[in-house]
Amino acid sequence: MEHKFESTYFKTDKKQTQGPQARCHEWGYKNSHAFFVAFQAGPSYYEYSCYRDPSAFLDAYAGVWEAERCFSEQIREGQACNEYYDIDWTLNEVSDSSSSTIVTMEQQMFAAFLIARNQHAPDYVVTNEQCRVLSASNGKMVSLHIVIPAYVFENNHMHMKAFMHGFHDRRTQGQPSEDCQLLEHTDMGVYSKNRLMRILGSHKSRDPSRPLKRAEWHEPSMVAEDEELLICNVGPDCVKVTSNAQEVTVKRGEHSQLQESRIARSSLPKQIVDIVRAKYMQTPHATQFEMQCITDRAMIFKLQRKAKGHCAVCEREHGRDNSYLRLAVSGALFLHCHRSKGPAGVKLCESDFALAIDIETATVLQTPHEPLHADTIDNARYLTHYFLAQV
Ligand SMILES: [Zn+2]
């Protein structure tokens, strides 16, 4: 325990049974302190402290030298927080950090974000003026933090997280690829318990040249008070977002369980799946869909759409997921469309004798070996391959 920056800081102490974070939380609770911070004292070494409220911290922070400004606010478990996003984009080509290219990318990313955000939660519309945009971009990456002080979530690790999962599910279900790209660059890992998020004007201890600062091109952020750029400064006029977070969490759980149990691994042997995939990749449809396995339907493969395109089954343009692959016992591969009224699919690959043998062998091995009756249709075929498989 050490007194600095006008508060009590807890650091690692081997004599203590509790870690510095836990001791800080306990002390903060006793002293009715509501604003928690972490100070990065070394590359991977943090000290923890808390202040009465955000303004008490900002008063103390004003007196901290720039070189020592390595502070993060801690979004306490169970504590309300403003809506926020952490978006990072690594650049392929290194450019000048002050260049107009970076500014243009930040602006484009922000514009795309705003559209996607409002499509996800139209009941809680966010305007450009309500956003606070912070940048830590350099020549190698574009990095934005967006805080929306107008909206508040009950907590970070459940409510804000559920909201984000809903956002993610919606955007990745057959939406234009640009939106998906935006979400790929949105850090979904920040919606966790006791998350640390960097504070305006602070840098990582290793990288003092890259402090988090207001995005200069965003006027509302340039004129905003410092308080408005904190995630844990919940004002009295904040609107609480209640997206039935609990319900979303449950739905999400069911959804992903279903997805995980059905899509993941085929019951067919890997070598067959590999052959099917290799064949599929040779077809022009591979640019539109990614092939996925479904556990309980071995001969069907889900096609997850990557881009909109022409449907060979119904001869129309489709923008959403709607196709699947069917592997015939002959080894032939067919493309089907959920939107097509007719049952017929389009043949993508001809029968393949070697593959047919593999399929039958695999199928026989998985089928419970009930005694075969002479009148069972095609029993000769099964018997043959059953014995082949035993060799
Ligand atoms: Zn179609």
Task: Give the N- to C-terminal CA distance of the chain in Å, as an integer.
Answer: 72
- Taking the centre of ligand 1 as the mean of its atom positions, its distance from the CA of residue 377, in whole angstroms, is 35
Distance 179 CA to ligand 1 centre (A): 23
Instruction: Give residue 176 CA to ligand 1 midpoint distance, Å.
Output: 18
**From ligand 1's centre to the CA of 312, what distance in Å?**
7
pLDDT-based confidence at 9, cuts 50/70/90?
Answer: very high
- State the distance from the centre of ligand 1 to the C-alpha of 18, rounded, in angstroms: 61
Gap from CA of 325 to ligand 1 centroid (Å): 13
Ligand 1 centroid to residue 330 C-alpha, Å: 24
Instruction: State how far the Cα of 4 lies from the Cα of 71, in Å rounded to an integer.
Output: 13
Q: How far is the CA of 348 from the centre of ligand 1 (A)?
A: 15
**Coil, helix or strand at residue 66:** helix
Distance from the alpha carbon of residue 335 to the mean position of ligand 1, in angstroms: 10
DSSP H or E run through 35: strand 35-42
Q: Considering the entire predicted model, what is its pTM?
A: 0.62
Expressed in angstroms and rounded, the spacing between residue 258 Cα and the centre of ligand 1 is 25
In this structure, what DSSP letter does residue 371 have? P
Residues with CB under 5 A from ligand 1 (ion): 311, 313-314, 337, 339-340
Tokens of residue 239, six digits: 């609107």
Of 23-37, 127-141, 279-293, 372-386, the poorest mean pLDDT is in: 372-386
pLDDT bracket for residue 383 (50, 70, 90): very low
Confidence of residue 171 (pLDDT cuts 50, 70, 90): low
| Distance in Å, CA 167 to ligand 1 centroid | 27
Q: How far is the CA of 322 from the centre of ligand 1 (A)?
A: 7
CA of 314 to the centre of ligand 1 (A): 4
Q: Which 8-state DSSP code applies to residue 146?
A: E
Calculate the alpha carbon distances from 62 to 5, 196, 201, 278 in Å.
10, 20, 10, 61
The answer to whether the beta carbons of residues 172 and 97 sit under 8 Å apart is: no
Task: Report the amino acid identity of residue 206.
Answer: R
| Residue 95, pLDDT score | 73
Phi, psi of 141 (to 5 degrees): -150, 150
**pLDDT tens string 203-256:** 998 888 889 999 999 999 999 999 999 999 998 888 988 755 444 443 444 444
Q: Which helix (H) or strand (E) holds 244?
A: none
**For the chain, the helix, strand and coil percentages under 3-state DSSP, each to the nearest 5:** 35, 25, 40
Tell me the pLDDT tens digit for each residue of 265-279: 667 888 889 999 999
Cα 21 to middle of ligand 1, angstroms: 56
Token pair for 4: 């600095």
Strand partners, 213: 135
Between the CA of 156 and the centroid of ligand 1 the distance, in Å, is 41
